[in-house]
């Protein structure tokens, strides 16, 4: 993106004066309205709602649940509008379950997954009466059975399939390959389901798979749906009364100029169509409820991390733009080498030069962008790191004892502070509070 040129981003576009904003509110105005400094995440609530509604609409006519993956974004201000539109949530820890419950998601709208659920996670799921727990191993099913019996309950479970699908994405976020830690091989899953059909503490409702994240090839997601259909049909053939297929999340978003967004209708049609084809062949009378667990596709494009330029400097052959955010605020570039657009909030005239846009954490990996052409920024300028609405704040940390940033939501053309930034004093107090009694200060 170049200074003064209209950006083509689906959510954050240049408005009056060429400044970057969403819903008609410039990002600098959003921070001012919300009383937030930098760094701060700014989201468009409308964008999240529209993306969710598009998926809901595409699934009309099919029994379904769209369960937003909380691990991507658990900001209450973004979730409550989804709740009101009929969304569910996918949770992977006791705390995520409690957040969902606290936000008023009913148990039948909460689904739980995760490869290493602890007894506390499972007990919380049982106590909240979640719709189902996706179980990843025999040991976990046994544990769930025991915990449910102890409570005089029968837990509802899906079995997570490892569909052995290689997703063309970053290896750290591919989860459906044969060597991944997730799920069970089809044969093991079928054996477990048959063996467990009479356990009194669990009822097996169906099958689940999730093959990875930021998947841009629909064929990959379709292949997973096909494998799920085959295993679902095999369970039916074995006489199990299964009735749910959970296709997971994984739909990718465009991150570079010129890449196209995948319409939710196209995504849904491809996944449902593939599943239906298998079922029509193998068990035509089956009409399972289909669960989708989108994370990135709902939240990613709807959020930007806004940072302020502290200094520019040159060392050796490189020019650096040092900003007040860092990998503690937004980890994806450092962890996955993820490429995110970085755009000046206010266009600055002048020929572009190449910069490494870096944060202040004491690690060389702490860079938002490398060798990126930018109109030369000045100290005090705001830059936006785009497509940061998913796995942004949720992966933020306090490394170097840096406070986590503020979160601002633009809704109906007004920006509000949805979560204040932590402060250095907050963090210092927490650290000092950890001092064991009796050790002199
Ligand atoms: N369901 C399950 C069981 C999952 O494990 C995930 C994500 C999702 C749904 C949502 O997937 P999505 O639609 O967002 O792709 N931190 C990484 C992404 C990790 C994804 C983990 N699982 C990143 O920043 O790329």
* Mutation choice for ligand 1 from 67, 68, 72, CB with most ligand atoms inside 8 A: 72
The pLDDT value given to residue 324: 98
Model confidence at 91: pLDDT above 50: yes
Ligand 1 pocket member 213 (CB < 6 A):
yes
Instruction: Read off the pLDDT of each residue in 217-234 and give the average, rounded to a whole number.
Output: 97
Ligand 1 pocket member 411 (CB < 6 A):
no
Atom of ligand 1 nearest to the CA of 214: 15
Cα–Cα distance measured from residue 360 to residue 78, given in angstroms and rounded to the nearest whole number = 29
Contact 308, 316 (CB under 8 A): no
Q: How far is CA 325 from the centre of its chain?
A: 21
The pLDDT value given to residue 436: 72
The pLDDT value given to residue 3: 41
The pLDDT value given to residue 156: 98
Q: Which residue's C-alpha comes closest to atom 8 of ligand 1?
A: 249
| Rounded distance from Cα 71 to ligand 1 centre (Å) | 7
Residue percentage of the chain with pLDDT more than 90: 88
Half-sphere exposure of 209 (CA within 13 A, CB side): 32
Q: Which residue's C-alpha comes closest to atom 14 of ligand 1?
A: 295
Q: pLDDT tens, 276-329?
A: 999 999 999 999 999 999 999 999 999 999 999 999 999 989 999 999 999 999
Three-state DSSP class for residue 389: coil
Question: Band of the pLDDT at 273, cuts 50, 70, 90?
Answer: very high
Q: What mean pLDDT value characterizes the chain?
A: 95
Q: Prior bond to 39 cis, omega within 30? A: yes
CA-closest candidate to residue 251, choices 269, 231, 237 = 269
Ligand 1 pocket member 294 (CB < 6 A):
yes
Model confidence at 1: pLDDT above 70: no
Contact 218, 226 (CB under 8 A): no
Cα–Cα distance measured from residue 326 to residue 321, given in angstroms and rounded to the nearest whole number = 12
Atom of ligand 1 nearest to the CA of 213: 15
| Rounded distance from Cα 78 to ligand 1 centre (Å) | 18
Cα–Cα distance measured from residue 170 to residue 440, given in angstroms and rounded to the nearest whole number = 48
Question: Band of the pLDDT at 7, cuts 50, 70, 90?
Answer: low
| Rounded distance from Cα 390 to ligand 1 centre (Å) | 9
Q: Which residue has the higher pLDDT, 74 or 175?
A: 74
Model confidence at 14: pLDDT above 90: no
* Mutation choice for ligand 1 from 173, 228, 249, 395, CB with most ligand atoms inside 8 A: 249
Model confidence at 388: pLDDT above 70: yes
The pLDDT value given to residue 168: 74
Ligand 1 pocket member 341 (CB < 6 A):
no
The pLDDT value given to residue 172: 76
Average the pLDDT over each of 171-175, 363-367, 403-407, 414-418 and give the range with the smallest value: 171-175
The pLDDT value given to residue 241: 96
Partners of residue 160 on adjacent β-strands: 208
Q: pLDDT tens, 359-373?
A: 999 999 999 999 999
CA-closest candidate to residue 46, choices 411, 326, 368 = 411
Task: Give the catalytic positions in this structure.
Answer: 362
Q: pLDDT tens, 115-125?
A: 999 999 999 99
Q: Count other C-beta atoms under 10 Å from residue 233's C-beta.
A: 18
Instruction: Read off the pLDDT of each residue in 10-38 and give the average, rounded to a whole number.
Output: 94
* DSSP 8-state symbol, 187: H
Ligand 1 pocket member 297 (CB < 6 A):
yes
Residue whose structure tokens are 């699908």: 165
The pLDDT value given to residue 141: 98
Atom of ligand 1 nearest to the CA of 297: 13
Q: How far apart are the first and last CA of the chain?
A: 52
DSSP letters for 137-184: SHHHHHHHHHHHHHTT--EEEEEEB------SS-GGGB--STTSSSSB
The pLDDT value given to residue 441: 58
| Rounded distance from Cα 198 to ligand 1 centre (Å) | 33
At 337, list the tokens.
Answer: 């080498």
The pLDDT value given to residue 440: 64
Model confidence at 431: pLDDT above 90: yes
Cα–Cα distance measured from residue 135 to residue 142, given in angstroms and rounded to the nearest whole number = 10
Ligand 1 pocket member 173 (CB < 6 A):
yes
Model confidence at 148: pLDDT above 80: yes
DSSP letters for 238-282: TT----EEE----B----STTPPPPPHHHHHHHHHHHHHHHHHHH
Instruction: Read off the pLDDT of each residue in 353-364 and give the average, rounded to a whole number.
Output: 96
Question: Band of the pLDDT at 6, cuts 50, 70, 90?
Answer: low
Q: pLDDT tens, 167-188?
A: 777 777 777 778 888 899 999 9
* Mutation choice for ligand 1 from 210, 225, 294, CB with most ligand atoms inside 8 A: 210
The pLDDT value given to residue 142: 98
């Amino acid at each position: 993106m170049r200074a003064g040129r209209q950006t083509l981003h689906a959510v954050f576009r240049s408005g009056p004066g060429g400044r970057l904003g969403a819903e008609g509110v410039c990002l600098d105005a959003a921070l001012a309205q919300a009383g937030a400094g930098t760094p701060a995440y700014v989201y468009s609530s409308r964008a999240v709602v529209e993306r969710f509604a598009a998926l809901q609409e595409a699934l009309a006519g099919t029994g379904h649940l769209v369960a937003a993956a909380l691990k991507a974004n658990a900001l209450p201000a973004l979730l409550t509008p989804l709740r009101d539109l009929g969304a569910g949530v996918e949770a992977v820890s006791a705390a995520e379950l409690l957040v969902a419950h606290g936000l008023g998601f009913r148990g039948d709208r909460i689904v739980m997954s995760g490869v290493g659920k602890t007894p506390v996670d499972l007990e919380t799921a049982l106590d909240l009466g979640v719709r189902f727990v996706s179980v990843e191993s025999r040991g976990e099913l046994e544990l769930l059975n025991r915990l449910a019996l102890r409570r005089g309950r029968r837990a509802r479970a899906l079995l997570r399939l490892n569909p052995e699908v290689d997703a063309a994405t970053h290896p750290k976020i591919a989860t459906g390959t044969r060597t991944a830690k997730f799920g069970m091989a089809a044969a093991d899953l079928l054996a477990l389901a048959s063996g467990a059909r009479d356990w009194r503490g669990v009822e097996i409702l169906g099958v689940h798979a999730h093959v990875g994240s930021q998947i841009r090839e629909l064929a990959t997601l379709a292949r997973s749906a096909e494998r799920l259909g085959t295993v679902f049909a095999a369970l039916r053939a074995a006489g199990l009364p299964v009735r749910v297929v959970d296709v997971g999340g994984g739909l990718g978003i465009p991150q570079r100029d010129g890449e196209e967004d995948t319409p939710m209708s196209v995504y849904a049609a491809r996944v449902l169509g593939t599943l239906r084809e298998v079922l029509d062949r193998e068990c035509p009378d089956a009409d399972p409820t289909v669960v989708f667990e989108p994370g990135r596709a709902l939240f990613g494009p709807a959020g930007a991390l806004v940072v302020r330029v502290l200094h520019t400097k040159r060392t050796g052959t490189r020019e650096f733009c040092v900003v007040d955010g860092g990998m503690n605020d937004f980890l994806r570039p450092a962890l996955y080498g993820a490429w995110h657009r970085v755009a000046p909030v206010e266009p600055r005239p002048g020929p572009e030069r190449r910069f490494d846009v870096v944060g202040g954490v004491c690690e060389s990996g702490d860079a938002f962008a490398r060798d990126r052409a930018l109109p030369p920024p000045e100290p005090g300028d705001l830059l936006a790191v785009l497509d940061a609405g998913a796995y942004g704040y949720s992966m933020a940390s306090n490394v170097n004892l840096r406070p986590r940033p503020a979160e601002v939501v633009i809704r109906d053309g007004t920006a509000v502070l949805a979560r204040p930034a932590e402060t250095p004093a907050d963090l210092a107090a927490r650290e000092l509070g950890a001092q064991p009694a009796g050790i002199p200060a």
